[in-house]
Amino acid sequence: MSNRFITALKSRKWRWLYITLAVFLILAVVVGTYAYQKRDAMLMGAINKAKTKLLEKYDMELKIQYYAFQGMNAVQFKNIQLLPKNRAPLAQINDLTVSVKLWPLLFGDVKLGQVVLDHGAVSLVKKDTISNYDFLFKKQKKDTVENDNPKQNLAALADRLLKNVFFKIPNDLDLKDLELSYQDDSTSQRIVIPSAVIDGGDMESKFLLNSHEAAWNLTGTIDPDNQECDLRLFSDKKGVDLPLLRRKFGLAVSFDEISFRLDKAHRRNKELLELHGQWGFKNLKVNHWRISSKDVIFPEATMQGALNIGASSIEVSKESTVQAKDFIFSPYMKYVHKPKKEIFLAIHTEKIEAQHFFDAIPAGLFPSLEDIQVEGHIQYDLNFALELKKPDNLLFSSKIDDRDLNVVKWGEANIAMLNTPFTYTAYEDGKPMREIVVGPQNPNFTPLDQISRYMQISLINTEDPFFFKHKGFEEKAFKLSIVTNIKEKGFKRGASTISMQLVKNVFLNRNKTVVRKLEEILLVWLMERSQQVSKKRMYEVYLNVIEWGNNVYGITEAARYYFGKTPAQLGLGESIFLSSIVPRPKKGLNFFDWTGHLRGNMLRYFNTYGYIMTKTGQIGVDSTRSNYGFYDVVLLPHLRSARPAVVDQVDTVDMGDESLLFENLESTSPADNLEGISLPKSLESKSLPEKQTEETTEKEKPKRSLFDKILGRKKDGKEKKDDEKN
């Protein structure tokens, strides 16, 4: 009895299932029949709606000579034209057949099944300031509202964009003779695609640039349903430039192959989209005068990992890796847009053979390091975190483990050369000025022990107070530079040490590219780490090669040019003055009046650095009586400006009765005891004379150094340093 009951129950369930399916099938047939009968009218309505939208929103006319259904789900169009009003035609297609997938359509997703295109052209034309494609960049009011919406979700936006791209890629494509062109007042570019085929996920296409000037191939696999692809772009011939970049920007770019693979697009939740994949290239060659004077060749590199897009952030995951030859490192980058704008950056390497790093540097990028040979291992970590509205909270840390690193053979820049007499070529604006022998053969060369002690300590204090303690870099100065530049919204302060200035002047003087600073940092690191050149020798060479005026190089020429003295005869005031003009050597004469004495707006500079040197025990307290030699500085008569027709009374600064006498502090370096230094009130509160002349303007005030932060003073100078110190 029980078996009979169960059988009856099952039969009833199946009966209801059959009935439900039959009803659904009947409804589908009825709806399909109705839609089939009305599809022509629906198609016409959709096309008319598109025409109206293009005309009203973009001022563009859409013309279609013929359109009709082909089969159940395909539509054929003939002679399609897109015509912006009062502009050149934008697009024309002779024959286009498009089919959509019915099942996704039931759920509101329009996925292309097959596309057949025969002969088409898309022309982007710009004449003067008018183009036929400017509608693409017009910002609609609706977009403005959406962009200001605090609830905007970048993950959802990226997900929709990705789906729109893949949904528009058909499973089957048969394209013949499509031309894409660009033309403006100065250049033109034409790309012809003779054929492009997607068959069962396999893709093969060819691109011809400017009538066979170059031929490119795009091959691989693509799966629109699963949002996956694996594509390769390569040229028939090696070393073929992209013509438009060269003509438009003077940038020559060529490569043997570029590859891209998207393995997975995973929507973790409403606020996280993960994109996993890999991209790479082979024999990428770049040439531009702002990058290098030579071709820069990247033999091979790959990057794999994940891009995480959150509701208001974009992140390159910590698991990502970059490999160039045998050098591998892990980058981490994150940008947070809301509620506060933040930037995070990190670079990490495992302990690797140091030579692998130098072998991975692209040929031509850092010429001074080419052919260098090292031994040992290195391990590096960089951490950077910044909230843009609170730059003072900057986190910056750069650490390297290079304990067993040794330089076996120097490259083009032979740092060991600094230990011997050598010829230095002085450059100005990339042009050689003259050659200077740095050694006893040159009568203008002065050994360090024959240079005034005042000169030595003054320049150390103004340029790099930690020179004899750091290893080429001062992390606090780097942080201060970053913070200041963010606050000023421009490049206002650098962080160059004497080691960096020396390397730049001797080895990189003529090389003014955007990557010069990186090359400079690497050379300084190697110079300091190798310890093949002592700090005293570095300082000696530095004092004998830096510029101190128009065609005035080295301390011997400077002392003679301004004061008619030898370096050993320089007093405290003269030394402080010469130190002050190192950032802007060609402005040196502007700080003197017609009598040959320094102008009043230099007095605070003298009192500031004189106070520091007194406080740290580098000079005696008796130096304060003449304001640290300020009134002892007298320019040679033949360099003075003409006496003005009307002579104003010379402004002075009353420094008050506050004593500058301090106990002598034991100190072996200007860097010692700086943390406890504070300026007396007379220096903090007294303002400089307001009088200015045409020769000395506000912009010409001496730039501040690391002591800005120590002394709590704001930066006044705004002009770029003449010698591009930073």
Q: Which two tokens stand for residue 657?
A: 């009765």
Report the range of poorest mean pLDDT among 20-29, 547-556, 595-604.
20-29
221 pLDDT above the threshold of 90: yes
Q: Look up tokens 């303690």; give the residue.
A: 469
Q: What is the mean pLDDT of residues 446-475?
A: 93
pLDDT by residue (tens digit) across 635-661?
999 999 988 877 655 443 333 333 222
Confidence grade of residue 2 (pLDDT, cut at 50, 70, 90): low
Q: Coil, strand, or helix at residue 350? A: coil
Burial state string for 113-139 with b = 16 or more CB within 10 A and e = fewer than 16: bbbbbeebbbbbbbeeeebbbeeeeee
Q: Which two tokens stand for residue 175?
A: 């394209």
pLDDT of residue 149: 53
Higher pLDDT, 15 or 470: 470
* Cross-strand pairs, 278: 261, 304
| Residue 147 CA: distances (Å) to CA of 141, 152, 246, 433, 488 | 10, 7, 35, 54, 27
Q: Which two tokens stand for residue 676?
A: 């406890």
145 pLDDT above the threshold of 70: no
For residues 468 and 667, the answer to whether their CB atoms sit within 8 Å is: no
Give the predicted TM-score (pTM) of the model.
0.77
Q: What is the mean pLDDT of residues 7-27?
A: 59
Does residue 101 come out as left (phi exceeding 0), alpha (psi in the -120 to 50 range) or beta?
Answer: beta
* Burial status of residue 704 (CB atoms within 10 A of its CB: 0-12, 13-18, 19 or more): buried
All residues at 6 or more sequence positions from 245 whose CB lies less than 8 Å from its CB, including other chains = 251, 252, 253
Q: What is the mean pLDDT of residues 331-357?
A: 94
| Residue 580 CA: distances (Å) to CA of 272, 504, 549 | 54, 20, 12
Q: Determine phi and psi for 161, rounding to 5 degrees.
A: -65, -45
The H-or-E segment that residue 10 falls in is helix 2-58
Amino acid identity of residue 32, one-letter, is G
pLDDT by residue (tens digit) across 545-561?
999 999 999 999 999 99
Q: For all residues of the chain together, what is the average pLDDT?
A: 81
Highest mean pLDDT among 110-119, 252-261, 437-446: 437-446
Q: What is the mean pLDDT of residues 331-341?
A: 93
For residues 381 and 402, the answer to whether their CB atoms sit within 8 Å is: no
Higher pLDDT, 401 or 697: 401
pLDDT of residue 55: 87
